Amino acid sequence: MLQEIMIWKGYNGIWKIRRHPAGFESMRK
């Protein structure tokens, strides 16, 4: 279950990065 959430968050993060490059930094924090 934890892995699924991580993958889902990572997939969502990719879309956020494409729209807002700065989002990558906030996602890592």
For residue 21, the model assigns a pLDDT of 58
Contact between 23 and 17 (Cβ < 8 Å): yes
pLDDT > 70? residue 7 = yes
Residue identified by tokens 């279950």 is 1
% of residues, the chain, pLDDT over 70: 45
pLDDT at residue 25 in the model: 61
Domain residue limits at 22: 1-29
pTM of the predicted structure, to 2 decimals: 0.28
**Spatial contact of 27 and 20, defined as CB atoms under 8 Å apart:** no
> Domain total for the chain?
1
With tokens 């494409």, the residue in question is: 18
Residue 27 has pLDDT above 70, yes or no: no
